[in-house]
Structure 1
Amino acid sequence: MGLTSTKVLALTLVIAVLLFAATIWLWPRLSRRSLRAVLGRIGLLLVTQLALFAAVGLAANKSFLFYGSWADLFGQEEEMGVVVDHAAGAGKQAQLIGTRALDVPGGGKPSVGGQIQEVRIEGAKSKIVSPAYVYLPPEYFQPQYAKKNFPATVVLTGYPGTAMNLIKGLRYPQTALLQARAGKAQPMVMVMMRPTVAPPRDTECVDIPGGPQTETFFAEDLPRAVSSAYRVGTKGKNWGFMGNSTGGYCAVKIAMGHPDKFAAGAGLSPYYKAADDPTTGDLFGGNADLKKRADLLWSLDHLPAPRTSLLVTTSKKGEDNKKPTAEFISKVKPPTHISSITLNSGGHNFNTWKREIPAVVEWMSKKLTA
């Protein structure tokens, strides 16, 4: 049974309740002052507390999908499946690992529900290799669209995150499908990943001197690899970038730094300056210029305004990025276009982002062309 399984959560809750009942029932028998009785009381309290903590932890993880599997929880690398070339002419930059149906009515048929493909992306320039999930809309499989190219959007989680969070927790593909069916968005391909392409290090989507070239991977290698394997446009007007938290910072940063590659960038609850903590290490090798460039507020003040469209989100209550978001918006100058979403309340969590994603998908759709 998987970490996010309802059966695991239910079993843990049952065990917790039984242990609590056992503690109440056995407590009078262990009320003596003997060593055996004291150890018995300690043992009952300990296992009951552990069961309760486990149940709460599993419930929180099931809701927010901090970890997608037991191996992910314990920091173990999951064994990869057999790699098969995605398609003739796709080269070795994007290799198909497997497929899965969308969790929607009729999702078992690609021409109705679309399809999610798990792929392995090899960065030709950065030399980074990372898994990704590619959502293909139903139109991709319909005969009348056989010769049509589609717009594409890179979607990133927060750190550390798992790409599966974007499918099961935030439901990006399902939202894109429903928005397209409602005529609010055009069908688009989504490339879903976590920003941690050099685990366990948090690279903040920058090119680290002497280290992982993460910005190069996302800005150059990823669009090239996906465009070579799928019917996706190769120009900046065909590509967008979005994400939440760390992924939001990456989306806005890369759209600003590479307007020739991405027509739009949307950050859900982004921050505006690269983190500097034990998970990142020294990102800039003492290079002050690189550090400044990773500060988006500094970039707006000192670098030419990029020709791209940006969207940032925050809330009046619950988010700690309200003030820097307002400052970011005030600093944007033409030809950059800026939009925002401000909720009345909402914390830094999945429930907040799920309220923003439909509008963000619709906004992104209007910025991209096939």
Structure 2
Amino acid sequence: MSLTGSPLQYGSIAIAAVAFVVVIVLWGRLAKVNVVTVAVRAVALLGVNALVVFAMLVSANDYFAFYSGWDDLAGANADAVVATKGAARATETKAQENALLAGTTKPAAPQGTPVDGYDGRVQRLTVTGPSGTTGTVLVVLPRGYDDPSQASTTYPVLVALHGSPGSPKQWLTALDVRPAVDLVVKANQMAEPIVVLPDLGIPAGRDTECLDGPQGQPQVETWLSDALPKAVEASYRARTSPQAWAAMGFSMGGWCAAELTMLHPQQYGAGIVMGGYFRYEPGSGYVPFPKGSQEAQAHDLVAVAAKKPPAVSLFVASSQDDPESWPTTKAFLAAAKAPMSVTSLIAKTGGHRSDVWAGQMPQALVWLGKTAPGFAPAGTPAQ
């Protein structure tokens, strides 16, 4: 029996319900107080509770697709296939390398507020954008950012986008981006970046899918593509070239990373999509634009990839049995063409959960250092 799907889900619920009724019916027969009846009652209560918990876990897994099958649950690792489609990224020239630094702002000191518990390396910044759209971001500074010897050093920017439900702190806990970045930087496979973690719940608790809402509603897409970059560049020693800006996200954040990279290539030159999707289907809770409208068509990233692909680079990771990600990812990979460059990491099996994406992150960061000129380590041209 499959781990996902109706048979196991409804079967586990039915078994738990039957066990509950059986215990109620037989409870009177176990009323006598002795060692045997007390033990039987304890086992019965524990058994019913275990069956209820199992049914809840199965239902949650069926809804969120955490584990795709029994092998996935047991920890089996399926081989993933890496492929590149579209344009081949050109080797960075010295002129391009110098252009990355041109016009870069160099504030005297970071403008954010330090967050307790991170030795000053994580700061909080409030960013206000169009129509009063205001949100907070966590900023992970490079090691030695405040060292006087690094005062003239500028950094690429990696904007990491969380899923829904979720928060920026997922990038500091379940998907701790700091050790992943530090490992790749230490191996000289990527230039050390400023990592920006926006809170996408604007207002709190709303799943905006990183889109601009109707008039009077938060303009989250514009906030991410315009207001946030301006605030970061004004507050930190951030490089301003789009080849030094990348978006990375998982699940909903993966959609956001693809959206920002493909629809705003003037700001984001590269994107990393882990377990994301490439078409937005408006839900009952938030409808930023009508289905079939001009805005909806403009945000169909599969159609954009086929008809008017931008000159950006994407790293796309998914598995063929991830129901949240694979259907539109498959369509997107089939549609992608030059001048866009797409490198895919596709596994046969895999769940829709944080440990999968955490495992993909180092490979994605190495790809970023090889592909985006602004993230290439010193002395190592991007390819």
- TM-score with structure 1 setting the length: 0.70
The SS at the match of 1:243 is strand
Question: Residue 202 of structure 1 is aligned with which of 199, 207, 210?
Answer: 207
| Shift in CA distance, 139/294, structure 1 to aligned 2, threshold 3 Å | same
What CA distance in whole angstroms lies between the structure 2 residues aligned with 1:138 and 1:361?
17
Question: Aligned ranges for residues 331-370 of structure 1 at < 5 Å?
Answer: 331-366=335-370, 367-369=372-374
Q: Would you say the 8 A contact 2:279–2:328 is kept in 1? A: no
Q: How many residues align?
A: 296
Q: In structure 2, how many angstroms separate the alpha carbons of the residues matched to 1:203 and 1:327?
A: 23
Residue 70 (structure 1) aligns with: none
Shift of 1:137: 1.6
Amino acid aligned to 2:300: D
Distance 1:346 1:166, change over 3 A: same
> In the alignment, residue 98 of structure 1 is paired with which amino acid?
V
C-alpha separation in 1, matches of 2:155 and 2:139: 13
Identical counterparts, % of pairs: 28
TM alignment of 1:163-174, pairs within 5 A: 163-174=168-179
Task: Check conservation: 2:275, 2:318, Cα contact below 8 A.
Answer: yes
Residue aligning to 1:96:
113
Measure the CA separation in 1 of the matches of 2:29 and 2:306: 72
* Paired amino acid for 1:292: Q
Normalised by the length of structure 2, the TM-score is 0.68
SS at match of 2:192: coil
**Aligned ranges 1:8-47 → 2 under 5 Å:** 31=31, 45=45
> Hey, what's the Cα distance between the residues in 1 that align with 2:211 and 2:373?
25
Letter of the aligned partner of 2:134 in structure 1?
V
1:219 aligns with 2:219: no
Shift of 1:301: 3.1
3-state SS, counterpart of residue 212 of structure 2: coil
SS at structure 1 position matched to 2:338? coil
Secondary structure of 1:256's match?
helix
Kindly indicate whether residue 190 of structure 2 is the aligned counterpart of residue 185 of structure 1: yes
* Pairs within 5 Å for 1:104-123: 115-117=121-123, 119-123=124-128
The one of 309, 318, 326 aligned to 1:305: 309
Match of 2:101 in 1: none
| 8 Å Cα contact 2:276-2:324 kept in structure 1 | no
Change (3 A) 1:169 1:317: same
CA RMSD of aligned residues (A): 3.6
Is the Cα contact below 8 Å between 2:303 and 2:335 reproduced in 1?
no
Which residue of 2 is the match for residue 151 of structure 1? 156
SS at match of 1:326: helix
Q: Give the counterpart of 1:264 among 259, 264, 270.
A: 270
Residue ranges of structure 2 left out of the alignment (5+ in a row):
1-22, 33-40, 67-106, 376-383
Give unmatched runs, 5+ long, in structure 1. Answer: 1-22, 33-40, 67-86, 102-107
